[in-house]
Amino acid sequence: MEASQPNFRAYSKQIVKNSKALARELLKYDFDLVTGGSENHLILIDLRNKKVNGALAAIALEAGNIVVNKNGVPFDTLPPFYPSGIRLGTAAITTRGMKEKEMVKIAKWFDLVINAVSNYRLPEDKEERRNLMKKFRLEVLKNKPIQKTAKEVKDFTSGYPLP
């Protein structure tokens, strides 16, 4: 029923416009988008060129108040629990009223957070990996660029309240 309403059609189109705009902005920061862009509501980013693991990136971005999912990418050599990519969608930000121009800020925040954790490497050894993940979760909360991003995102999104 909802999908047949004119408002829903406009909302759906805006989700895709936002996804395409965010993909274009992420490309400016040299993010490797699996499909080269986006034709729907999702963007899949292969982080191998950034030397950042998808699991670490998802934790760091969440510390910066940006929620994504870790995700495998084509020809990924890493295990599914620690994949090389992240996946994000634009439905939630569209629901909050954001449009294409806001994607510029969001892409900048992605770049800042990913760069802030680019020095972390996922160990091969399972025990070392477990220890790194525990340590990483604490360290990202104290990371100055991530703290700054978290505050900026919180302040920015206060202008786009949840319906």
162 domain residue, yes or no: no
Contacts of 66 (CB under 8 A, 6+ apart): 106, 109, 110, 113, 149, 153
Count Cβ atoms below 10 Å from residue 42 Cβ, excluding itself.
18
HSE toward the beta carbon, residue 1, CA cutoff 13 A? 0
pLDDT, tens digit (0-9, with 9 covering 90-100), for 27-56: 999 999 999 999 999 999 999 999 999 999
Domain of 98 in residue numbering reads as 2-157
pTM of the model: 0.94
Q: What is the identity of the amino acid at 131? A: N
Residues 6+ apart with CB under 8 A from 16: 38, 39, 40, 41, 90
* Structure token digits, residue 157: 């999104």
What digits encode the pLDDT tens for the residues 113-139?
999 999 999 998 999 999 999 999 999
What is the CATH number for 42? 3.90.1150.10
Q: What is the predicted pLDDT for the residue at 138?
A: 97
What type of residue is 1? M
Residue 59 lies in a domain: yes
Number of domains the chain contains = 1
Whether residue 163 lies inside any domain: the answer is no
